[in-house]
Amino acid sequence: MSRGKFIVFEGIDGSGKSTQMDLLRSHLESLGLKVYVTTEPSSREIGKLIRRILKNEVTVSEETLAALFVADRLDHIQNQVDGMLQYLDKGYCVLSDRYFWSSFAYHGLHMPISQVVEMNDICHEMLKPDLTVYLDLSAEESMRRILERNEQLEKFEKLELLQKIRQNYFIAFEKYSKDLLIKVVDANESIELCHEQIVSKVSDLIQNVPVS
Cross-strand pairs, 36: 94
Q: What is the pTM of this model?
A: 0.94
Domain that holds residue 99: 6-205
Q: For position 1, what pLDDT does the model report?
A: 57
Q: For position 8, what pLDDT does the model report?
A: 98
Low-confidence residues of the chain: pLDDT under 70: 1
In a domain, 200, yes or no: yes
Task: Convert the pLDDT of each residue in 62-117 to its tens digit.
Answer: 999 999 999 999 999 999 999 999 999 999 999 999 999 999 999 999 999 999 99
Q: Left (φ > 0), alpha (ψ -120 to 50) or beta: where does 32 sit?
A: left
Q: For position 212, what pLDDT does the model report?
A: 72
In a domain, 211, yes or no: no
Number of domain units in the chain: 1
Q: How far apart are CA 3 and CA 66, in angstroms?
A: 30
In a domain, 41, yes or no: yes
Q: How far apart are CA 144 and CA 4, in angstroms?
A: 36
CB 42 within 8 A of CB 72: yes
Q: For position 198, what pLDDT does the model report?
A: 98
In a domain, 1, yes or no: no
Q: Which long-range contacts (CB under 8 A, 24 or more apart) does 16-22 make?
A: 16/135, 16/137, 16/187, 16/191, 16/194, 17/97, 17/98, 17/135, 18/97, 19/191, 20/133, 20/135, 20/185, 20/191, 20/194, 20/195, 20/198, 21/95, 21/97
Q: How far apart are the first and last CA of the chain?
A: 11
CB 71 within 8 A of CB 128: no
Q: For position 170, what pLDDT does the model report?
A: 97
Q: How far apart are CA 130 and CA 28, in angstroms?
A: 15
Q: How far apart are CA 59 and CA 130, in angstroms?
A: 35
Q: For position 32, what pLDDT does the model report?
A: 96
CATH of the domain at 145: 3.40.50.300
In a domain, 97, yes or no: yes
DSSP 177: -
CB 127 within 8 A of CB 77: yes
Q: Of 98, 12, 81, which Cα lies nearest the Cα of 44?
A: 81
In a domain, 210, yes or no: no
